[in-house]
Structure 1
Amino acid sequence: MRTGVVKQFDANSAYGFIEDDLTHSAYFVFYKSIKEDGYKRLDVGQRVHYQLAQGKKGLQCINVYVDHSQKE
């Protein structure tokens, strides 16, 4: 899995962007891709693990898991 940092997430619009640790590119993420229990949201600066997949408008994050091993 890839790793990165949440750069932006708008809970009202239910999407945001994750910056990849290796490429430093930002990839789109939709709330349905977040694999957490309860209310699905991401916080800016939060570390995540994810996969990339081809979406309608380019690469996007899927199977997003928050890295709970890091102190926030």
Structure 2
Amino acid sequence: MRTGIVKQFDSRSPYGFIEDDLTGASYFVFYKSIKESGYKRLEVGQRVRYQLAQGKKGLQCINVYVENNERG
């Protein structure tokens, strides 16, 4: 899995962007891709693990897991 940091996430319109640790590129993430129980949201600065998949408008994050449920 890839790793990165949440750069932006808006719970009112549940999407955001994750910056990849290896490439520095930012990828779109939608709240349905977050693999957490309960209310799904991300916090800016959180470390995450994820996979990339082709979406309608390019690569996007799927199967997103927060690392240790702590902010980075």
What do you get for the CA RMSD once the two structures are aligned?
1.1
Q: Which residue of 1 aligns with 2:65?
A: 65
Q: Which runs of 4+ in 1 moved over 3 A?
A: none
Residue identity in the other structure for 1:63: N
User: What is the TM-score when the length of structure 2 is the normalising length?
Assistant: 0.95
Q: Which has the higher strand share?
A: 2
TM-score if structure 1 supplies the norm length?
A: 0.95
Identity %: 79
Deviation at 1:24, TM superposition (A): 0.2
Identify the residue that residue 26 of structure 2 maps to in structure 1.
26
| Residue segments in structure 2 that go unaligned for 5+ positions in a row | none
Distance 2:31 2:12 in 1: 10
> Which residue identity lines up with residue 38 of structure 1 in the other structure?
G
Structure 1: state its 5+ residue gaps: none
Q: How many residues align?
A: 71
